[in-house]
Structure 1
């Protein structure tokens, strides 16, 4: 926790296949240990949130993705002290050849949402997404430059 400070920024990717299956993982640690959840991780210095989610999915599962859009955000405060924020993205799988990172994960699979719900190991977030997945997505617009005087090397807007 010390390394991240008291404001955390994480990303998570809902990766889907053409036939509607979702990429889900079972983590070996933390509050989601043994639960089906989405590939996720922290944003590193020097990357945008959309770059971070694609990197995290690739690192954890070996799946390369195409960005579809932003689904939403969850934000919470841990023990009245740490601001824990996660941006949720919709991604499309470019292939289905999973290479599970066994250091962090028990397993990774593509499953149909209804099968995930039938499994008692689905996380609260997964259950909510299956039941209430919004149809609208915020799309990436990386053509905007707010001005060279700001010094941005990357500037990504997500708009309807």
Structure 2
């Protein structure tokens, strides 16, 4: 492609401007769901784990997890999921994990601190919610969640 053709394409791109550029980029680029996980700890360092109804038998224990809604920050997703699934409120801290490379999903996990409330589970999705010491985690815990709790590399 000659220099003049490249310059013409660049000039046209700049003339098109904002919203049309975004639409072209939207159609051209990959779309992902974003799975968001909260590593919720209390003041004693215990971690909040949930036994998920729809997860595979023998691997139902895991951290509060859900998908980000459109226009929702990932931190807001953590707060919403924990509240919906357990009735608890949390303060979201630093990012603990980010991973892409899945076909249609990106995963992100945040540290979070218990802020208040009493456990009242959403019994449609969640069978049980309990606090565990990191050195005494339950059988049937997702291995990737065990690694997140101990901040080991996935």
Aligned equivalent of 2:36: 11
Q: CA deviation at 1:107?
A: 0.6
Bigger proportion of residues as strand? 1
Q: How does 1:100-139 map to 2 (within 5 A)?
A: 100-116=121-137, 119-133=138-152
Structure 1 stretches of 4+ moved >6 Å: none
Provide Cα deviations, 1:44-70, integer angstroms capped at 9, x if missing partner: 112111111111111111110111211
Q: Give ranges in structure 1 of 5+ residues lacking alignment.
A: 135-160
Backbone CA RMSD of aligned residues = 2.2
- State how far apart, in whole Å, the 2-side matches of 1:126 and 1:42 are: 16
Range 56-65 or range 91-100, more displaced: 91-100
Q: Give ranges in structure 2 of 5+ residues lacking alignment.
A: 1-29
Question: What count of residue pairs does the alignment treat as equivalent?
Answer: 124
TM-score w.r.t. length of structure 2: 0.72
Bigger proportion of residues as helix? 2
Correspondent of 1:54 among 62, 71, 79? 79
